[in-house]
Amino acid sequence: MRVASEEHLQVGIDRKLHSNLLSSGMFSKEYDFKKLSDWSNCRACLILAIFIALPMLMRPGDHSSGRHEDLVIVGGQIIDGTRNPAYRADILISEGKIAFIGSIDTNSMPGMVIHADDKIITPGFIDSHAHGDPLTEDFENFLAMGVTTVLLGQDGSSPVNAVNYDHPKLYFDRLERARKLINLAFLSGHGTIRSRLGYTSPAPLNAHELNQLKEHTAISLESGCFGLSTGLEYLPGALAGEDELTELAQVVGNFDGIMMSHLRSEDDSLMEASLNELIRLNRYCRAHVSHIKVVFGKSAARGEEILSLLYQNNTEGTLAISADVYPYMASYTGIGIVFPPWAKTRTSFEMARLNRREELEKYLYNKIMARNGPGATLFASRPFTGKTLEEVSNESGKSFVEILMNLGPQGASGAYFVMNEALQEVFITDPRIAIASDGGPSLRHPRSYGTFAKIINKYVQKEKKLSLEQAIHKMTGLPAQIIGLEGRGTIKVGNYADLLIFDPAQVEDHATFSDPYLISTGFEYIFINGNLVRQKEKDLCLDCGSLLKKTH
């Protein structure tokens, strides 16, 4: 083996290596470890020692998980997730982690060797905003687009706090025993906790109720959640005033967690007010804008204004406020998004239909027209799946307002073409904003199956609006930093071996709005926790992911 540089040499002469040398028969048990360490200062002897020890390390290990096999990746260009330029090096993976980065001569080494052949080696992508319950859904769509870790429990809704689990620990215990295709991390859900406690009326919480909400939040964070998500445009999250959120932000801050927020409004006219609310909460904990977008915004200049506001209090080298974005110009949510606050629940809608019908119909008409008209709403649920509101109206002979009145606020979900591409691309290309899908296994939107591949295919390869190093950082090192994931997101010795090997020219996203469930292709090798889990679009390990918990 050739050692490229002393600073990269991490497979050193330590006690484990000493043990391996002894077991090799080359040294006696009486050989003194300190003497061995002193002797290692001789470069030739150091190389010899490593050469002897590596076959022991490269042998399929008898590790605790029973899955790891030590292996070497040679011949690749490493993009390490830090925005540093690509560099050529080989990687040794041992016991699920990156054990060595440098130059490796594999001629005399047994064990598994993968020839990257000048392909790109990157960290596995980290999706900082994803949906779904891994106890009931298959997450292969994420794996196929290079995602090795997802953060779930978004927009105020989290399975960790579901009413059928008496304690978050019970959910986590069940998940520990379940099959995990990829790594899973979680947020606690503000809306789910509120619903669980029965706090779903417009009345402000009293002191006892607020203490209950804070207690449940603290229990979730103690149990391993990385923070708290809020969905302030949805019920019951929208019922929370800033005083309530401030109390919860202090709880989150006490656990060094993050508050990820679906803002109170993403409408252009209300963006400043919504962002300023989150900025004020950032005094107490790290704060994050989920799927940043400006509905009805019209220009790149407007995007720059939003960025200026978002980062006005940032000091150099810090992320006071963070954000993520997906590379599509249509959002996705329930049809309730177009209904007024006083008609979003079934009960309030029925009351409004009886007592304020004319006012409600006028509101719906104006709202849809402001959101680019009925042709910009694409249904994603039965009975109108794949049709726009305009098409349904024309086929039925009813006005689009009548269609909405018949459906009600819980009657459908859909995609909404309400974003301006020039504006959104300000966020997509900004180095401080992470890429996230806001997708899920069954969520009918191409972002669920194409987000990360699209960044490489469109913004790196075709349009060259991002360098590959920039794009990889926004999908790896940056989200790891935002979430607070330790040992993931960058390629360095000691980190978990969540890795991708691919040719960027071969990466493609195939999902469309008309056919949103087409998986991405082009990621030739995918490793999770040191295990080769996918090779050339074939899954090799269906249970190599881990449940990731925040430690305190």
Place of tokens 């076959």: 55
N- to C-terminal Cα distance for the chain? Answer: 41
The mean pLDDT of 41-62, rounded to a whole number, is 37
Q: Rounded distance, CA 479 to CA 485, Å?
A: 8
The mean pLDDT of 255-283, rounded to a whole number, is 96
Q: Out of 59-73, 305-319, 328-342, 360-374, which region has the weakest mean confidence (pLDDT)?
A: 59-73
Q: Out of 58-62, 316-320, 471-475, 546-550, which region has the weakest mean confidence (pLDDT)?
A: 58-62
Minimal CA–CA distance to 58: which of 91, 14, 13?
A: 91
Q: Is 189 helix (H, G, I), strand (E, B) or coil?
A: strand
Q: Out of 18-22, 121-125, 304-308, 406-410, which region has the weakest mean confidence (pLDDT)?
A: 18-22
The domain spans of the chain are 1-58, 125-327+445-539, 333-416
Q: List CB contacts of 54: < 8 A, sequence separation 6 or more.
A: 1, 11, 92, 109
Taking a C-beta distance cutoff of 8 angstroms, is the pair 552, 115 a contact?
no
Taking a C-beta distance cutoff of 8 angstroms, is the pair 172, 224 a contact?
yes
Q: Rounded distance, CA 133 to CA 164, Å?
A: 14
Please provide residue 258's backbone torsions phi and psi, each rounded to the nearest 5 degrees.
-125, 140
For 30-50, b/e burial (b = at least 16 CB within 10 A) is: eeeeeebeeebeeeeebeebb
pLDDT for 313: 64
Q: What share of the chain is helix, strand, coil (3-state, %, to 5)?
A: 40, 20, 45
Q: Write out pLDDT tens, residues 199-222.
A: 999 899 999 999 999 999 999 999
DSSP state of 295: B
- 318 or 538, greater pLDDT: 538
pLDDT for 218: 98
Q: Does the pLDDT value for residue 344 go beyond 50?
A: yes
User: Where would I find the H helices in 101-241?
Assistant: 140-144, 168-177, 190-197, 207-222
pLDDT for 515: 94
Q: In this structure, how many other beta carbons lie within 10 angstroms of the beta carbon of residue 265?
A: 16
Question: Where does residue 167 rank: exposed (0-12), middle (13-18), buried (19+ CB within 10 A)?
Answer: middle
Q: Out of 17-26, 235-244, 518-527, which region has the weakest mean confidence (pLDDT)?
A: 17-26
pLDDT for 159: 97
Q: Does the pLDDT value for residue 108 go beyond 90?
A: no
Q: Write out pLDDT tens, residues 475-518.
A: 999 999 999 999 999 999 999 999 999 999 999 999 999 999 99
Confidence class of residue 396 from pLDDT cuts 50, 70 and 90? very high
The mean pLDDT of 124-144, rounded to a whole number, is 97
Minimal CA–CA distance to 5: which of 100, 71, 79?
A: 100
pLDDT for 78: 98
Q: Out of 96-110, 294-308, 377-391, which region has the weakest mean confidence (pLDDT)?
A: 96-110
Angle between the 357-370 and 400-407 helix axes, to the nearest 10 degrees? Answer: 120
User: What are the start-end ranges of the E strands in 361-451?
Assistant: 377-379, 413-416, 433-435
Per CATH, the number for 125-327+445-539 is 3.20.20.140
pLDDT for 109: 63
Mean residue pLDDT of the chain comes to 88
pLDDT for 67: 57
Q: Write out pLDDT tens, residues 70-99.
A: 899 999 999 999 999 999 999 999 999 999
Q: Write out pLDDT tens, residues 288-305.
A: 999 999 999 999 999 999
Instruction: Report in angstroms the alpha-carbon separations of 31 from 19, 47, 248.
Output: 11, 18, 59
- 311 or 129, greater pLDDT: 129
